[in-house]
Amino acid sequence: MSEEKRRPEDDGRDFANAAWSIPSYLLSGMVVYGGAGWLLDRYLDTSAFFPIGVVLGTVLAVYLVYRKHGR
């Protein structure tokens, strides 16, 4: 009696993991770097670092998604 090994590609778990991790990376990048920019804006009494942080966080998140899921 031989047992068949289940592979993630066969049961759809790989797609489900990607479907949840991609938006998570994007949202967390915007929140973390946008939050850091907002704090810096509050500290320096400016208004430029929040949008820069959001854009930078999005760009870095897209890069991480490409590195993890891009082929």
For the chain, the average pLDDT equals 86
Closest CA to 23 of 50, 51, 62, 54: 62
Q: What is the mean pLDDT of residues 18-27?
A: 89
Please give the structure tokens belonging to residue 45: 């009494």
Output 56 or 19, whichever has higher pLDDT: 56
Q: What is the DSSP letter of 70?
A: -
Cα–Cα separations (whole angstroms), residue 64 to 11, 12, 49: 25, 22, 22
- Rounded to an integer, the average pLDDT of 15-39 is 91
pLDDT tens profile 31-42: 999 999 999 999
CA-closest candidate to residue 64, choices 33, 20, 25: 25
